Amino acid sequence: MKRNVSKALRLWPAAIGLLFLLTLGGCDLLNSDNGSGTADAVTVRTVSGGERFYLAVMTDNTLWGWGMNQSGQLGTGDTYVSAPTLLMSEVLTASAGREHTMILKTDGTLWATGDGGYGQLGTGRSEDESAPVQIMTDVESVAAGYYHTAILKTDGTLWLTGRGNDGQLGTGNTSHVSTPVQIMTDVESVSAGHNHTMIVKTDGTLWTMGYNAYGQLGTGDTTQRNSPVQIMADVKSVSAGYQQSLIIKGDNSLYVTGKNDYGQLGTGSAGETNDVLTPVLLTDKVSKVFAGYYYSLFLKTDGSLWAMGENSYGQLCTGDTEDRTVPVKVLTGIRSVAPGFDETTLVKSDGRVYRAGILNTYVIEPVKIDSGVTEAFAGGSHSLYLKTGGVLWAFGNNSYGQLGTGDRVTTITPVEIMAGVESVAPGGYHTLIRQNDGRLLVTGSNYNGELGTGDTEIPTSSVQVMSDVSYASSRYDHSLMVKTDGTLWATGSNYFGQFGNGNTTTVSTPLQVMTGVSRVEAGNGSTFIIKTDGTLWASGWNSYGKLGNGNTSNLSTPVQIMTDVSQVSCGYSHTVILKTDGTLWATGFNYYGQLGTGDSTNHTTPVQIMADVQTVSAGGSFTMILKTDGTLWATGSNTSGQLGIGDIENTPRILSPVQVMAGVSGVSAGSGHTLVVKTDGTLWAMGYNGSGQAGVEFCEPLPVMVSGF
């Protein structure tokens, strides 16, 4: 059972009272080693995270944070913090709600910052705080739920504050509270879920309150409780998730109750009719439990980590995206765990932090892939690059053999393909490889004859189709080749007349269509030709005016667009043009700001965007611009993090170019991901990573640099 992708960005910090969520997104290793190599090196002790912001308490009791700060949840005064920043010292624990943070210092004082709209900060008012303010003294522990907070004092009294509409505060009514109110005495521990609360008393009895539509309170019915009700005895610890609850009894047996539509209870069934209203025994020898949104995890007494429930983004750390309705063993040597909405963070026994889930699907900040790289080429969902000496490497989607490995096995780890390569032109699901001697090799999808092999069969390995090729381009389902004699050849789909030969006949063998050509660019159903005299010509699909001729009519015969052109690059429905004087021009669809004009107005003729541009690469609905000073600029859609600015929640699109990196020598934009080559020869990737094209592993430790610790 898979959820609609539109839910993907609604991150849920469930079980945050356990203080373990740092999520950045598939089991990537965050190296927190301070480089000392000593046994007492400072490492991460506990992690916590809310909706797109993250907290880490180190072994030296310092608190660090990064991510979204729109409600002041990091207390830094900024709206976004891109790298771990020191927030406070002498901190024992920190717990993150949706957009609020509760901080317990070593002296027992409790501090709060961020969203206070429902009184969840406990300040006595329903207002946000942009910096931590002291709330209480003599505090033992704190658990921040979605919009409410539970506070356990050293005398065993339990206090709650915040949103109470579902009875989660246990006050006997559904009123919100902005000043903590005492609910119970003799409390051992507490866990705050989405809108229900679970309490373990010192005598081992379990009490619950709040929303109960799915049986998460364990009362045997679905009636909401506005006051705590006793459920079980001999309970050791609990975890309240989104709408499910996990309970460890004194003999280390695990009981589960609540919502089970994705198998998050691990009972072997899933679906809307498989909710559990009364706690049932699941397994034994369990030491810790962690309830997430639609999934759950637990640690056994032997240190092994087990997972169950939804796995659409690899959040179970199983190495795949299949849901599990029964617990599966996934890792060992785990110190702590934090499940979220679609991601999981794990702290191993050595203090290193691993991450799994959705934010490995969206790599929102550049990740280093390799070194010794000279050029990179981003395809639809696969990536290729050249290393020194013309050696070709590739990673990402290989479902059609587009990587040239001789098989159809998708790989996140770069693999060496061949030597003697001059350049590469990746399409959506196929690849053109130009050798140093001018031979053109092709591999991958061939449904429209885009490989030029004379048929539509998908080859089992790279095959040669032409010789004496000086330039090649392929973007979607047609391919273009310029030979050393200046002739232009085309193969594949000609549905929109993109060959420019006056008809719309698709071919599977390269067809000569023009002479006097210097360079060519294949777009989505369109073709752009730079002739030897520097004039730019266009033909094919003209959606939103991307051909730049002043209208939106398709063309089966090329028309001249501009003069003095050195490069052109095509997105899905927009085109960017670099002139010989270094000015950058753009035309076509502009809803996401991919033209960089400062607005979202479409253009049917090229408009000037920037000057001093060295090269440009158009992605699906975004544009990456490399200036002559080596700075990289980006504009357009950022829904997958492809711009590399570190934020997709508040900046799903950028209307004017913004600088994202310096010291860059090359860039290539794919459908939803970007590859960047820096002047030191390192290769970096960001953006959509659903097939591993951004180079981030799922559940295999891959070092990722997180500066600031």
List, for residues 286-319, the tens digit of each pLDDT value: 999 999 899 999 999 999 999 999 998 888 988 7
The answer on pLDDT for 666 being more than 70 is yes
Confidence of residue 696 (pLDDT cuts 50, 70, 90): confident
Amino acid, res. 465: V
Write out pLDDT tens, residues 345-375.
Answer: 777 887 777 778 766 677 878 888 999 999 9
| Residue with the two structure tokens 């209208």 | 551
Half-sphere exposure of 500 (CA within 13 A, CB side): 23
| Residue with the two structure tokens 């004087």 | 581
Q: Is 484 exposed, middle or buried (0-12, 13-18, 19+ CB in 10 A)?
A: exposed
Provide the percentage of residues in the chain whose pLDDT is more than 70: 92
- Mean pLDDT value of segment 115-132: 96
Taking alpha carbons only, the member of 564, 573, 602, 646 closest to residue 365 is: 646
- Beta strand 362-370 with 353-357 is unpaired
Which runs of consecutive H residues, i.e. helices, occur in 93-166?
none
The answer on pLDDT for 456 being more than 80 is yes
Alpha-carbon span 619 to 635, nearest angstrom? 10
Write out pLDDT tens, residues 557-566.
Answer: 999 999 999 9
Alpha-carbon span 86 to 342, nearest angstrom? 26
- Position 378 scores a pLDDT of 97
Q: Which tokens sit at 253?
A: 């047996």
The length of the chain is 709
Q: Which tokens sit at 656?
A: 């004017």
Q: Which tokens sit at 583?
A: 């000015």
The answer on pLDDT for 632 being more than 90 is yes
Write out pLDDT tens, residues 155-196.
Answer: 999 999 999 999 999 999 999 999 999 999 999 999 999 999
Confidence of residue 539 (pLDDT cuts 50, 70, 90): very high
Greatest mean pLDDT among 34-38, 43-47, 347-351, 602-606 lies in: 602-606
Amino acid, res. 702: L
Cβ contacts of residue 40 below 8 Å, gap of 6+? none
- Position 82 scores a pLDDT of 66
Write out pLDDT tens, residues 481-496.
Answer: 999 999 999 999 999 9
Question: How does DSSP classify residue 41?
Answer: -
Cβ contacts of residue 417 below 8 Å, gap of 6+? 384, 392, 393, 394, 403, 404, 405, 433
- 46 or 185: whose pLDDT is higher? 185
Alpha-carbon span 226 to 211, nearest angstrom? 9
Alpha-carbon span 211 to 195, nearest angstrom? 6
The answer on pLDDT for 693 being more than 90 is no
- Beta strand 440-444 with 139-144 is unpaired
Write out pLDDT tens, residues 392-410.
Answer: 999 999 999 999 999 999 8
Q: Is 478 exposed, middle or buried (0-12, 13-18, 19+ CB in 10 A)?
A: buried
Give the DSSP per-residue string, 397-456.
--TTSTT-SSS---EEEEEEEESSEEEEEE-SSEEEEEETTS-EEEEE--TTSTT-SSS-
- Mean pLDDT value of segment 1-7: 38
- Position 32 scores a pLDDT of 37
User: Which of 28-42, 208-222, 506-520 has the lowest average pLDDT?
Assistant: 28-42
Write out pLDDT tens, residues 583-606.
Answer: 999 999 999 999 999 999 999 999
- Position 658 scores a pLDDT of 96
User: Which of 8-17, 413-422, 528-537, 605-614 has the lowest average pLDDT?
Assistant: 8-17
- Position 40 scores a pLDDT of 58
The answer on pLDDT for 698 being more than 60 is no
- Beta strand 353-357 with 28-30 is antiparallel
Q: 503: alpha, beta or left, given left = phi > 0 and alpha = psi -120 to 50?
A: beta
- Position 350 scores a pLDDT of 78
Alpha-carbon span 669 to 643, nearest angstrom? 9
Q: What is the CA radius of gyration of the chain?
A: 28
- Position 55 scores a pLDDT of 86
Alpha-carbon span 232 to 228, nearest angstrom? 12
The answer on pLDDT for 36 being more than 50 is no
User: Which of 499-513, 538-552, 660-674, 687-701 has the lowest average pLDDT?
Assistant: 687-701
Q: Which tokens sit at 394?
A: 């590739």
Write out pLDDT tens, residues 52-69.
Answer: 788 889 899 999 987 788
Confidence of residue 441 (pLDDT cuts 50, 70, 90): very high
Alpha-carbon span 160 to 96, nearest angstrom? 15
The answer on pLDDT for 503 being more than 90 is yes
Confidence of residue 26 (pLDDT cuts 50, 70, 90): very low
- Mean pLDDT value of segment 535-541: 98
Which runs of consecutive H residues, i.e. helices, occur in 185-293?
none
- Mean pLDDT value of segment 599-621: 97
Question: How does DSSP classify residue 105?
Answer: E
3-state SS track over 450-463: CCCCCCCCCCCCCE
The answer on pLDDT for 671 being more than 60 is yes
Map residue 326 onto helix, strand or coil.
Answer: strand
Write out pLDDT tens, residues 234-292.
Answer: 999 999 999 999 999 999 999 999 999 999 999 999 988 899 999 999 999 999 999 98
Residue 71: what are its φ and ψ, rounded to 5°? -105, 5
Alpha-carbon span 414 to 70, nearest angstrom? 37
List strand residue ranges (DSSP E) for 8-79, in order: 28-30, 44-49, 53-58, 63-68
